[in-house]
Amino acid sequence: MMAIPPGIDPDLLRSFVLVAEGGSITRAAARVGRTQSAVSMQMRRLEESLGQALLLRGARGLVPTPHGIWLLDRARRLLAMHDEIVTNFRAPEIAGPVRLGCPDDYALLWLPQILAGFAEAHPAVEVEVVCLPSSVLLSCFGKGELDLTLFSAGTEAPGVAAETIWRGPLRWVGPAARPIHLLRPLPLVLCHTGCTWRVAATQALDQAGVPWRMAYSSASQTGTHAVVLAGLGVTVGLSVALPPALRLLGPEDGMPALPELEIALLQHPGAVAEALANHIRRGFGDGAEVSARAA
């Protein structure tokens, strides 16, 4: 009879995820309430049990190896499901309202699946979804007007440690039927001043020496997509779930590379908020794999 290999302690995976995301054993130790030496020992135990190096020291701290990157996405999903199971069996039935903030840049991509699963698990909870720019959502969260919020990392958070739940490529988007990206100055369709996507786009163009002008602006991605669909400029967005008649633009189109986007989560204490946060973590873990395939 074939022997069953030993399992992996979820505590090891949790520490690994925090180290990989923060690039520091010291910061991870503070998050899990352990000493630095204890977390270092956990990383050694995890690498020994899997037989592969998972972390390397780089210029910005500890970074995951190729095996570590493979493990990181799966560890996030496993931990989210693990926490959901534990919460559902140990915690009393939760009920009441919860206020969730999410930029509309990625609300339609992830929230339907997340909210459907949450409603099935917790039918007595009433969810209010607020879609606003990241900077506004962070202000609302800081004033206690939201119980938890998603936001694009890089926007200044209100003095609270945020959790990175997704990382993926930011891409140029233009109309499929018109080569508007060849115009100089390049007409841009972006969000408000200070938006992390807008900053990333204009900095990339400046560094590449591509002249540009702000043709249109909108507080939502729906608005920017509408203008691009009209053939009036290019914008930036994710590499998945593009409306028909839009296409991704890359180096072959003369467009400079853009940095990766990080989506982060902030939450106030509370059983309802924690339950919804667990569904969000699992939903974005599933979405990361979809995005990686599309890119």
Kindly report the three-state secondary structure assignment for every residue of 74-130. Answer: HHHHHHHHHHHHHHHHHCCCCCEEEEEECCHHHHHHHHHHHHHHHHHHCCCEEEEEE
Which pLDDT score is estimated for 6?
67
Residues sharing a CB contact under 8 Å with residue 163, sequence separation 6 or more, in sequence order: 21, 264, 265, 266
Q: Which two tokens stand for residue 48?
A: 């020994």
> pLDDT truncated to tens, each residue of the chain (295 aa)?
444 456 788 999 999 999 998 888 988 888 888 899 999 999 999 999 999 999 998 877 899 999 999 999 999 989 888 887 776 676 557 889 999 999 988 888 889 989 998 998 888 899 999 999 888 999 999 999 999 999 988 655 555 678 888 888 889 999 999 999 999 999 999 987 778 889 999 999 999 999 999 999 987 888 898 999 999 999 998 876 677 899 999 999 999 999 888 899 999 999 899 999 999 998 887 544 333 333 3
Distance CA 146, CA 149 (A): 7
pLDDT score recorded for residue 152:
87
Cα dist. 226→131, 180, 213, 216 in Å? 18, 15, 18, 11
**CB of 192 closer than 8 Å to CB of 137:** no
Between CA 292 and CA 294, with CA 293 as vertex, the angle to 5 degrees is: 95
Q: What is the pLDDT of residue 241?
A: 67
pTM of the model: 0.64
In order of 13, 34, 68, 177, 222, the CA distances from 47 in angstroms are 11, 19, 10, 50, 44
* Predicted pLDDT at 162: 82
Nearest Cα to Cα of residue 108 among 138, 135, 129 = 129
Sorted by where each starts, the structural domains of the chain and their CATH numbers stand as 10-85 (1.10.10.10), 95-163+269-294 (3.40.190.10), 168-260 (3.40.190.10)
Does residue 201 contact residue 258 with C-beta atoms inside 8 Å?
yes
Predicted confidence at residue 92, as pLDDT, reads 59
